[in-house]
Amino acid sequence: MVFYAIDSNDAAAYPIESAAEMKSRAVAGRYPYPYLKDGDSHVARAYGARVTPHIFVVDGSGNRALSAATSTIRPKTDARKHEGLRSALDALLAGKPVEVTATRAFGCSIKFKG
């Protein structure tokens, strides 16, 4: 399994989203995965990302298996009946279909380039 973080915000309009700032955050946060820059927001548009962070799981065939809010990473609570990301990854690793393929994503809007 491979994980990536991708920043699709417009760095020209929002300097805090520059590659140098991203690198600093990745080092400080000890990100165990590549943190990539989507300089023209093409990747975000292609996947339909609307907010940051917005999680996508892509299966081994290149098909989107999950589009999720970050809250699906947090442990299950009475208010939320399943753990979206964990459930999707467990299903894919077991060779099973992902039961819930989307949850409502919320967060700060992506600052698309041009």
Query: Per-domain residue ranges for the chain?
Result: 5-109
pLDDT score recorded for residue 80: 53
Q: CB burial class (10 A; 0-12, 13-18, 19+) of residue 96?
A: exposed
Question: Which range, of 1-5, 23-27, 104-108, averages the lowest pLDDT?
Answer: 104-108
The CATH number assigned to the domain with range 5-109 reads 3.40.30.10
40-86 pLDDT per residue, tens:
999 999 998 888 888 888 888 888 888 876 654 455 554 455 567 88
pLDDT score recorded for residue 54: 84
11-27 pLDDT per residue, tens:
999 999 999 999 999 99
Higher pLDDT, 1 or 41: 41
* Cβ-contact 49, 107 below 8 angstroms: no
- Helix then strand count (H, E) for the chain reads 3, 6
